[in-house]
Amino acid sequence: MNLLENPIFLTHKRLVHRTGVLAPLIIAGLIGLVFLLGLMESQRWAANVTPHETLGKGFYGWIVGLEIVILFLGGFNRIAQTLAEDQKAGLWDSNRLTPLKPADIVAGYWLAPALREFYMAAVLAGIGLIIVLSSGLPFTLWLGTQFLILTTALFFGLVALLLGMTFQRSHTGIILLVFFLFGPISLSAGPGRMMTSYLLPIYGIGQMFGAINPDSNSDWSEPGTFFGLRVPPLLITLALQSIVSLFLWRALVRKTAHPFQTLLLRWEVIAIFATLVLTQHALLWDVWSGKLATVWEAARLKQNYSDRSSFFLPYTQGLTLFIGAALLAFASPQPEQIRVDAMRLGFRNLGGVFSRSALPLALLLTGIATAGLFSQMMFSLAGSLNVFLVASVNLLEVFLTGVLLLDFCRLRHQRRAVGFLVLWLFALSIIPLLLGAIFTSTIPATFSLLAPGFIALGNQTDTDWPLLYKVLVAHGVIDVLLFLGWRQQWHQLLNRAAS
Amino acid sequence: MAEPLLVIEHLRVDFPDVVAVNDLSLTLAAGDVCGLIGPNGAGKTTTIRALSGLQEFTRGSVRVAGHDLTREPDELKRRLGFMPDFCPTYDRLTAWEFLEHFARAFSVPDRDRRIDECLQLTWLTDKRNALCGQLSRGMKQRLVLAKTLLPDPQVLLLDEPASGLDPLGRIELRKILLQLHDAGKVVLISSHILSELSGFCNQAAIMERGKLVQSGSIADLGRQMKRRRMAVKWRAEGSPAANILTAAAGLKNLAANALDATFDFEGEANALDELLKTLVLQGVRVCEWRAVGDDLEQIFLQSGAKELM
C-alpha cells in the first residue's frame, strides 16, 4: 500500500500535526542558526589560528550530535510510546482487525509518530549543509553522515516498535542503557574493533570526520577490517543494520499478524546472533589471526600489559552475553503458550516442553559464540585451552541460567516474574562483585555468574585457574538445581492442564 | 432454518488458573440476534474476543459464512464486526476523522457517504467535528458502534454495547439492532443487564463459569420453562379468583389481594392456559394476565446460572 494511502500513517501524521510542528521547527532552526552564526564569528576571529575546515567540523559535529539526540532518543521514545499507548487503549487491536496488511500497520507505526523529530532533524541537516559548504568541507561528509543518521534512525525505529510491542513503559531507560553501555565501552576499547560502534554508527560518522585530517587521531581515520580485509565503515554499518532490520521487520509483521506467537522464531534468533557475534570476531580477526596464545605470550615476554587489545575479548564476551540473553528472553515462549500447545496436541511429557522452550536455543547460541571464540585461538589452541574452556562453559552456564530462571520465575511467580528474575540475577551476578569490592578481594567477585569468562579472557598473568574451574562447577550445580525446580514446576502445570 | 452464518463448535479458552470458556457450541443463522447472558466472570467477553480473533483458544472451531477463523482469518475481517466493551478512540481526532481512518482501513466504497450514514445511524451527525476525547462515554460508545457498522459486516459481536448509553440511547440501539435483524445480519450481543437485551433478541445463550448452560430461540426456551412468576388482576371485588388460585395445583408463593395476585407456577405452558380458562369460566373478570419480568429474565433465572450482577 502506498504510504500516503496508509490510514495508520495518515492518522498519526494528522495527530503529530495537530499538536503543532511549527514551534519545534522554529526551535530547531534557531539552534541551527546559533551554530551558523558561531561558525561565522569563529571564522572571523580565529581564521589565522585554526583552519576553516577544522572550525567547520567542530560546528557541524554539534549539528550531527543534536540530530542524533533528537532522532535516536526523541524519535525512538515517541514511536515506542505511541505503540504502547495504542495497545493499551485497544486501538492496536482495532487496527489489527481491519483488512490492512500487517506490513502496512507496522509501516504506519514505524514512520509516522516521529515525524516531528524528523522535521526538526531535517531543518538541522539543512543548516548543517550550509556549515559544511561554507567551511570548505567535502559535500560527501554531509551526505555520508546524514545518510548514516537516517539509516540508523530507521533502524532504531524498528527497535522502538519491538520494545513498544513488548513493554508498556520504560522505553527511554532501555535505550539510554544501550547508549551508555555500548557507547563509552566502544570508545574506550577501540571504536574500529567493536561491532557496536558500527551498529550504532559511531565509527562510521567518526571516521568521516577523522578522515578529513588523518593525523589528528588514528583511531578514527582507519577503515574497519573484516577478517583482515579493509572495508569502509559505512558499508559495515549498512550491512549490519540491514540484516538486523530485516529480521526485526519480519518479527514485527509476524507478531502483528499472529500476536500469540513468540516475537522471534528460532532460526531468526540464530541468524541475528550469528551475524552480530561473528561480525565482532571478524572485526578482531587481524589482532591475533587465530593465534591468541602466541600473541599473548609475546606480549608477556615484552612485559607489554598496557595493550588495549587486552580489552577486546572481555568486551566481546560481555557483548555476547548481553545479546544472547536479550534474544533468548525475546524468543522464550510464555509457559502458558506451551501449556496450551500441550493441551491442544495432547503431550504431557517434559520432552515436549523442553523442545518448545528456549533451552535448545541456549545450547545453539552457546555453540555459535564458542565458534567465534575458537576462531581467535584455533592456531594456538593448546596454549589457550584454559581460556577457551572457561569462557565457553561460562557462556553456556549464563545462557542456561537465564532461560531456566526466566521460565522458573514465570511458572512460580507469574505476574511478579520480572521482579524475581531481576532479584535472582542480581544475587548471582552483582552481589559477589559488591562483596569483592567491600572486602577488597577478588575471590568473592570471581563467584559472580559473569566473572569467569571475563577473567579468563583478560590476559592476566596471575589468573587462578583452579579457582575458576571450581566457580564453574558451582555455577553448574546452580544450573542443575534450577533445572530440577524448572522440571517440578512444569510437572505441576502439565498435571493441571490434564485435569 | 436459514443458512448458519456463525458456527461455534466446542470452543475452549484456557487462562493460567481457570478454564474461561469450556466446550461452548452455538450456531446462529442470518437474522439471529442472540443475547449472550451471564454473571460477571461467566466468560462472555472472553468468548466474544475469541470469536473476533483477539483471544487464542485452546480447542474448538469458529466458522463465519463457511470460513474458518483459525485458517482464514483475513477472509473474516470484512465479515466480522467487533465492538469491545470499552471505547478505543483516537482522542485527538474528530468523530468524522476517526471513522475516516477505519473507512480507509476497510477500503469502504463511497467513503464519505458511508461515514455520514453511520454517523446518522448512531445519532452523531451533529458531533462529526467534535474531538473524540471530548465526547461522553455514551457518545464514544455510539461512535465505536458506527465504526463497527462501517464495513457492513455479516456478523456483529457486541460486548456490552449499551453499558454507557442513556435511556434514549438504549432505545435507539434497540432500533439499530432490529434493523440489523431485518437486514439478515447475525448479532451476538453480550450483557449482564437483561432488560437491555429483551425486546430484540430472538436467541439467548446463557453462560456460567465458562460453560453454556442453555441456548436456543427465546420462544423455545420460554416453552421449556418449568416455573414462571405470574401476575393476575381482575375487576370486581368479591370474585372467587383468590379461592380458585388457592385450590389450583402447581401454584407456589401465592400472594392474593382483593383485586390482584402473584404466584409462581410450576408446570407446562398449556396447564397455565387451563388455569386462565378456569378463572374466566368461573366468572372472574380477568383484566391482566402476565408473566412477571420479561422472557429473558425468566429463562435466565431458571437456567441454573447464579448471581446476575
Query: Any idea what DSSP says for residue A305?
Result: -
How many residues would you count in chain A? 499
Mean pLDDT of A84-99: 93
Q: Does B56 touch chain A (CB under 8 A)?
A: yes
Cα(B252)–Cα(B246) distance, rounded to whole angstroms? 9
Cα–Cα distances in Å, from A143 out to A39, A50, A125, B76, B209?
A: 20, 24, 10, 47, 64
Q: Does B53 touch chain A (CB under 8 A)?
A: yes
Structure confidence at residue A305 as a pLDDT band (50, 70, 90): low
Residues of chain B with CATH 3.30.70.100: 225-301
Instruction: Render pLDDT for B27-70 as a digit per residue (tens, 0 to 9).
Output: 999 989 999 988 888 999 999 999 999 998 888 999 998 899 98
Mean pLDDT of A200-222: 69
Amino acid at B139: M
Cα(B104)–Cα(A488) distance, rounded to whole angstroms? 51
> Hey, how many other C-beta atoms are within 10 angstroms of the C-beta on B3?
8
The CATH code of domain B225-301 reads 3.30.70.100
Q: Which residues of A touch B100 (CB under 8 A)?
A: 7
Name the average pLDDT for chain B.
Answer: 86
Query: Is B16 a residue whose pLDDT tops 80?
Result: no
Instruction: Render pLDDT for A468-499 as a digit per residue (tens, 0 to 9).
Output: 999 999 999 999 999 999 999 988 888 776 65
Query: Any idea what DSSP says for residue A378?
Result: G
Cα–Cα distances in Å, from A233 out to A215, A273, B270?
A: 18, 20, 90
Q: Specify whether the CB–CB gap between B242 and B261 falls below 8 A.
A: yes
Q: Is B90's CB within 8 Å of A15's CB?
A: yes
Q: Is A11's CB within 8 Å of B93's CB?
A: yes
For residue A99, give the nearest of B16, B86, B106 by CB distance: B106
Instruction: Render pLDDT for B118-145 as a digit per residue (tens, 0 to 9).
Output: 999 888 999 999 999 999 888 898 999 9
User: Which grid cell is A466?
Assistant: 583452579
Task: Please state, for a pLDDT cut of 70, what percent of chain A lies above it.
Answer: 91
Spacing of C-alpha A467 from chain mean position: 32
Which of A19, A86, A92, A98 has the highest number of chain B CBs within 10 A, making it the mutation to test binding with B?
A98
H-helix segments, B55-166: 73-76, 95-105, 111-121, 137-149
Query: Is B293 a residue whose pLDDT tops 50?
Result: yes
pLDDT, residue A446, reads 92
For residue B105, give the nearest of A89, A100, A336 by CB distance: A100
CA neighbor of B188 nearest in space, from B164, B146, B160: B160
Strands B211-217, B203-208: pairing kind: antiparallel
Residues of chain B with CATH 3.40.50.300: 4-222
pLDDT, residue A389, reads 95
Query: Is A39 a residue whose pLDDT tops 70?
Result: yes
Q: Is A10's CB within 8 Å of B78's CB?
A: no
Place of cell 555500548: A182
Interface subset of B 149-178, CB within 8 angstroms of A: none
Cα–Cα distances in Å, from A408 out to A323, A351, A479, A482, B119?
A: 21, 17, 12, 8, 51
pLDDT, residue B309, reads 41
Å between B152 CA and nearest CA of chain A: 13
Is the entire prediction scored with pTM above 0.90?
no
> Hey, how many other C-beta atoms are within 10 angstroms of the C-beta on A77?
22
Q: Does B54 touch chain A (CB under 8 A)?
A: yes
CA neighbor of A210 nearest in space, from A192, A237, A185: A192
pLDDT, residue B237, reads 66
Topology of domain B4-222, CATH: Rossmann fold (3.40.50)
> Hey, how many other C-beta atoms are within 10 angstroms of the C-beta on A389?
16
Domain boundaries in chain A? 290-499
Structure confidence at residue B308 as a pLDDT band (50, 70, 90): very low
Q: Which residues of A touch B97 (CB under 8 A)?
A: 11, 14
Cα-Cα-Cα-Cα dihedral of A114, A119, A123, A124, to 10°? Answer: 0
Q: Is A15's CB within 8 Å of B101's CB?
A: no
Cα(A389)–Cα(A369) distance, rounded to whole angstroms? 12
Burial of A64 by CB count in 10 Å (0-12 exposed, 13-18 middle, 19+ buried)? buried
Q: Is B90's CB within 8 Å of A10's CB?
A: no
Instruction: Render pLDDT for B227-247 as a digit per residue (tens, 0 to 9).
Output: 777 888 888 766 788 888 888
CA atoms within 13 Å, Cβ hemisphere of B83: 27
